[in-house]
Structure 1
Amino acid sequence: MKNKNVAFMTQAAMIAAIYVVLTYIFAPISFGEIQVRIAEALTILPLFTPAAIPGLFIGCLLGNIVGGALLPDIIFGSLATLIGAVFTWLLRSRKPIIGTLPPIISNVVIVPLVLRIAYGVNLPIPFLMLTVGIGEVISCTILGLIVYYALNRYRNTLFPKAAAM
């Protein structure tokens, strides 16, 4: 049981750290009305391990803080990632492309409201939903599936059953 908890926490911490680093490195395209957050490619990881759920949430939370996001963005942007991660985990028995949908949907619904309320972006909500959605499809689906197929070959090595819930 102890090894199971250590493996879970280690995986979550590594995922959070990678998310933060990717958000920081690609900060110029990770924030704003039109954004492609490269770190969102990691939202595919709940298909491999439940440790990705807290890892992605904490990574997004810290990435938003380090990136200088405003408090509503830190809170609600991170919650959008958490919601997406939970539902991706719930869809883990489906085709991988289906697992990319929850983070896209949660971000398309939440982030435009954050942009409007927190940052005062005065563009129509449907337009913001479109721009956020395009960025999420690029990150979560295109890049996420690249990550998925690159890691799937090594899934038993990288994500042993000991880390499962």
Structure 2
Amino acid sequence: MKRSKVQFLTQAAMIAAIYVVLTYLFQPFGFMDVQVRVAEALTILPFFTPAAIPGLFVGCLLGNLLGGAVLLDIVIGSLTTLVAACLSYLLRKNKYFVALPPIIANAIVVPWVLRIGYGLATPIPLMMVTVGIGEIISCGILGTILLQALIKYKNVIFRQKVA
């Protein structure tokens, strides 16, 4: 196997593992209609490497599975993370746009998952606001802080050029 394939798989696996650990550690804050999933700060990683796309997807899938989420949440939540990661990767030319896809996607999709999968009676628009605020905190604020910290070390950590 070429070095680049090994590097890609290693990065994806590490990102998935970190996502799962953060989801598990901060589980009380990461589920239901008012949520701040700290692991979502990692959604800025497509800025640095395309390996973050499968890494975030697998991490979210395993995090939801191990966190006791319902099947709908495991599938739809993980697919939402996959789509958002792909869109973040496409927006990597501007570091300030990278956090937008997961914020928007989760604010739109997660309330429906909470309503259908968990039977929450909270109005969908209100859940869009609460989930959106949680995503702004985790992706927008924590993610941007992480992005700024990693930019200084991008060539050491990711061993590739970044815009």
Tell whether the structures are fold-level matches, with TM greater than 0.5.
Answer: yes
Aligned equivalents of 2:83, 2:130: Cα separation in 1: 20
Task: Write the letter of the residue equivalent to 1:93.
Answer: K
Task: Write the letter of the residue equivalent to 1:26.
Answer: F
Q: Is the 8 A contact 2:154 2:160 kept in 1?
A: no
Aligned equivalents of 1:34, 1:105: Cα separation in 2: 16
Tell me which residue corresponds to 2:59. Answer: 59
Aligned equivalents of 1:46, 1:35: Cα separation in 2: 23
Report the Cα offset of residue 75 of structure 1: 0.4
Tell me which residue corresponds to 2:116. Answer: 117
Tell me which residue corresponds to 1:2. Answer: 2
Question: Deviation string for 1:29-85 (max 9, x for gaps)?
Answer: 010110000000000000000000000000000000010000000001111111110
Aligned residues: 162
Tell me which residue corresponds to 2:157. Answer: 158
Task: Write the letter of the residue equivalent to 2:160.
Answer: K
Tell me which residue corresponds to 2:142. Answer: 143
Aligned equivalents of 2:3, 2:145: Cα separation in 1: 30
TM-score, normalised to structure 1, is 0.96
Question: Deviation string for 1:110-152 (max 9, x for gaps)?
Answer: 1000000000001111001000000000000100011001110
Aligned equivalents of 1:10, 1:149: Cα separation in 2: 23
Tell me which residue corresponds to 1:76. Answer: 76
Aligned equivalents of 1:140, 1:123: Cα separation in 2: 23
Q: Does 1:46 align with 2:46?
A: yes
Report the Cα offset of residue 161 of structure 1: 2.7
Deviating 4+ runs (over 6 angstroms): none
Tell me which residue corresponds to 1:103. Answer: 102
Report the Cα offset of residue 11 of structure 1: 0.2
TM-score, normalised to structure 2, is 0.97
SS in 2 for 1:132: helix
Identity %: 62
Task: Write the letter of the residue equivalent to 1:14.
Answer: M
Aligned equivalents of 2:73, 2:98: Cα separation in 1: 24
Task: Write the letter of the residue equivalent to 2:142.
Answer: L
Report the Cα offset of residue 109 of structure 1: 1.1
> What is the aligned-residue RMSD (CA, Å)?
1.3
Q: Does 1:91 align with 2:91?
A: yes
Aligned equivalents of 1:131, 1:80: Cα separation in 2: 17
Aligned equivalents of 2:73, 2:151: Cα separation in 1: 32
SS in 2 for 1:99: coil
